[in-house]
């Protein structure tokens, strides 16, 4: 674990009262249940000093249009004080289609940056030194390809691969549950994921190999208990698959990370994060016999809830995001993205994304929330909520085990049905007025959307991206491309780790579509399957 110099020599309130790192309760029951920060069962946080040593990573999720436009936004965010990059990819990139495929028309660069080949990644990170920044990439079905592109850029920059750090989401199970951007069936996807675990363990030891995501589960309509339960059930499936593949749990578990949704019920959210850490620690220790405490730490990124943003009275979204971010900080997140006020209507402008980042900075530097660890510990209500969430999560985990595990439950539509029922009840409450959404079903005002300065993606970007791809394909060594794709196909049909073969393809400027389609088992037949699902 890295050591960090304390932010301050002494922590004081505005009135001059000294702030302890944490308040210790010496009762046996309290100690066994909660422990102290930085120690099993990590209810109170994964580090002893938490933000007294350093703040969470302020990581603003961004990416749109082409690599040139997104590179400008990343440099802008870094100038504004963001401390980590977070890459959004467009839909064709997420599901393994090149920009020149007919199915990609109308989607190029719309919800993220378009990446077809290593050339795009070279432009995306132009002027950004990878060994001096951490990067999170929200990519799942094609995670192995984008990771290899990142590695290729790092190698070109002369970076030490043992030291570069960041995260790939790489969580395909939640795609089947809640989101839908998958290419391959679960069995094949799980193999790619465990190949990534093994390869990174040897070559990229500081990289977080998966970000097991409850965010999209919550966005689809789950409640807090379901979000934690289904996320941890997916984690169990990944860990079981890795152990079955012969990996030592204490060799890879410390590089697993999580991604939660920051909703607006501040106290329930704080309790949710605390309960999730405690449950995960018990799972790792008791179910997987992990010996290292690092293997038992649930480290998580949080993004404030996109689903809580409203198109009506967009200024209210600044307030919502502030509350959600405060809950994440008081709940002990390791990195945080704050949504922008205009995201219910469009991709965020520079002005709105600056306000979103400033929200984190004000919480960090002015609110005092970062001056002590687990500030709500011992609150009767918080401890009650934490216990109740834990009970509810264990009930779901036991039920999923009874049904045969997370993958089997996905096939049975179990998680999907539970989420759908929860979402339906939530919407009924809004429609009936039982649940108030300010500006939507109460305190409504006449809207003037035309006054908003919204961001728009230039439709010409798609044509430019296709032209760039044609240039790359015409200028590369196509004999080498065919050779590397053939070797990848053979590896996919066998049992070898696929990452070295994907990296060779990437470095010879194979496109993401060519790599995704490179094997009959991993590509053509299953890609056709996904095309029909589209």
CATH number at residue 427: 3.20.20.240
- 479 within domain boundaries: no
The 10 Å CB-count burial string (b at 16+, else e) for 25-63 is eeeeeeeeebbbbbbbbbbbbbbebbbbebbbbbbbbbb
Q: Is residue 157 part of a domain?
A: yes
What is the pTM (predicted TM-score) of this model? 0.91
- Whether 518 has a pLDDT exceeding 90, the answer reads no
Q: Residue 4 pLDDT more than 80?
A: no
Q: In a 10 Å sphere around its CB, with 0-12 CB exposed, 13-18 middle and 19+ buried, how is residue 104 labelled?
A: buried
Q: Could you tell me the pLDDT band of residue 308, with boundaries at 50, 70 and 90?
A: very high
- Does residue 36 register a pLDDT over 50? yes
CA–CA distances in Å: residue 530 to residues 90, 171, 211, 407: 17, 17, 23, 18
**Using CA atoms, how far apart are residues 37 and 98, in angstroms rounded to an integer?**
47
| Range of lowest pLDDT (17-31, 76-90, 258-272, 367-381) | 17-31
pLDDT at 523: 44
| Euclidean distance between CA atoms 385 and 25, whole angstroms | 19
What dihedral do alpha carbons 430, 432, 433, 434 form, nearest 10°? Answer: -80
Whether residue 74 contacts residue 425, with contact meaning beta carbons closer than 8 Å, is answered with no
- Give me the residues paired with residue 168 across strands: 137
Element (H, E) at 303: strand 300-304
Q: What is each CA distance from 445 to 309, 319, 345, 346, in whole angstroms?
A: 16, 17, 17, 21
Q: At what angle do helices 266-282 and 380-403 cross, to 10 degrees?
A: 50
Q: What is the pLDDT of residues 290-305, one digit of tens each?
A: 999 999 999 999 999 9
Residue 443 domain-assigned? yes
Q: Report the pLDDT value the prediction gives residue 525, as an integer from 0 to 100.
A: 37
The predicted pLDDT at position 446 comes to: 80
Q: What is the mean pLDDT of residues 524-528?
A: 40
Q: What is the pLDDT of residue 28?
A: 67
How much is the mean pLDDT over the chain? 92
φ, ψ for residue 434 (rounded to 5)?
Answer: -65, -35
Q: Which pLDDT tens digit goes with each residue over 68-87?
A: 999 999 999 999 999 889 99
pLDDT digit string, tens, across residues 486-513? 999 999 999 999 999 999 999 999 999 9
- Is 298 a member of any domain? yes
Does residue 341 register a pLDDT over 90? yes
Work out the percent of the chain whose per-residue pLDDT is above 90. 84
Whether the per-residue pLDDT at 524 is higher than 60: the answer is no
pLDDT for residue 388 is more than 50: yes
- Provide the domain count of the chain: 1
* Residue 211 predicted with pLDDT over 70: yes
Cα distance between residue 228 and residue 278, in whole Å: 11
Enclosing H/E stretch for 291: none
Any idea what DSSP says for residue 179?
A: I
> For residues 157 and 427, what is the distance between their CA atoms, to the nearest angstrom?
50
129 is a domain residue: yes
Encoded tokens for 408: 């089997």
Who has greater pLDDT, 8 or 200? 200
What residues make up the domain containing 431? 28-451
Measured between alpha carbons, how far is 489 from 501 in angstroms, rounded to an integer? 9
β-strand partners of 212: 258
Q: How far apart are CA 123 and CA 465, in angstroms?
A: 12
Q: What is the mean pLDDT of residues 352-380?
A: 96
Residue 510 belongs to a domain: no
């Amino acid at each position: 674990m890295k050591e960090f110099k304390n932010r301050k020599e002494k922590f004081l309130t505005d009135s001059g009262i000294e702030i302890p790192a944490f308040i210790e309760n010496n009762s046996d029951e309290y100690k066994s249940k909660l422990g102290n920060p930085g120690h099993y069962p990590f209810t109170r946080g994964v580090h002893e000093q938490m933000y007294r040593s350093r703040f969470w990573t302020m990581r603003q999720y961004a990416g749109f249009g082409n690599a040139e436009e997104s590179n400008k936004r990343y440099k802008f965010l870094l100038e504004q004080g963001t401390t980590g990059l977070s890459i959004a990819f467009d839909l064709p990139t997420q599901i393994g289609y090149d920009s020149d495929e007919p199915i990609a028309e109308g989607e190029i660069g719309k919800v993220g940056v378009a990446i077809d080949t290593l050339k795009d990644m070279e432009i995306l990170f132009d002027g950004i030194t990878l060994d001096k920044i951490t990067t999170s990439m929200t990519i799942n079905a094609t995670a192995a390809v984008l990771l290899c592109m990142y590695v290729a850029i790092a190698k070109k920059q002369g970076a030490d691969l043992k030291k570069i750090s960041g995260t790939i989401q790489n969580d395909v199970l939640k795609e089947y549950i809640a989101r839908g951007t998958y290419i391959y069936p679960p069995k094949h996807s799980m193999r790619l994921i465990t190949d990534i675990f093994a390869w990174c363990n040897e070559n990229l030891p500081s990289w977080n190999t998966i970000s097991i995501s409850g965010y999209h589960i919550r966005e689809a309509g789950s409640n807090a208990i379901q979000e934690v339960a289904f996320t941890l059930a997916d984690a169990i499936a990944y860990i079981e698959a890795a152990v079955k593949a012969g990996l030592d749990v204490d060799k890879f578990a410390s590089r697993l990370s999580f991604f939660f949704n920051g909703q607006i019920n501040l106290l329930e959210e704080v309790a949710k994060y605390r309960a999730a850490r405690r449950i995960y620690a018990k799972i790792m220790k008791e179910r997987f016999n992990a010996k290292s405490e690092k293997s038992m730490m649930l480290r998580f990124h949080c993004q404030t809830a996109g689903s809580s943003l409203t198109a009506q009275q967009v200024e209210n979204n600044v307030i919502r995001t502030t509350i959600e971010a405060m809950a994440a900080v008081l709940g002990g997140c390791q990195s945080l993205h704050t949504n922008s006020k205009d995201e219910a209507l469009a991709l965020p402008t520079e002005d709105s994304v600056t306000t979103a980042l400033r929200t984190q900075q004000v919480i960090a530097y002015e609110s005092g929330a970062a001056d002590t660890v687990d500030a709500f510990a011992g609150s009767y209500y918080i401890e009650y909520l934490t216990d109740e969430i834990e009970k509810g999560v264990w009930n779901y985990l036991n039920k999923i085990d009874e049904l045969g595990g997370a993958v089997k439950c996905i096939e049975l539509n179990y998680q999907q049905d539970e989420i759908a029922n929860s979402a339906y009840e939530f919407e009924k409450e809004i429609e009936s007025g039982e649940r108030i959404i300010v500006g939507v079903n109460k305190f409504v005002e006449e809207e003037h959307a035309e006054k908003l300065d919204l961001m728009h993606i230039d439709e010409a970007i798609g044509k430019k991206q296709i032209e760039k791809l044609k240039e790359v394909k015409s200028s590369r060594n196509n004999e080498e491309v065919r050779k590397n794709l053939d070797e990848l196909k053979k590896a996919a049909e066998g049992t070898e780790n696929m990452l070295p073969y994907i990296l060779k393809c990437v470095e010879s400027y194979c496109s993401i579509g060519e790599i995704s389609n490179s094997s009959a088992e991993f590509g053509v037949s299953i890609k056709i399957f996904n095309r029909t699902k589209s």
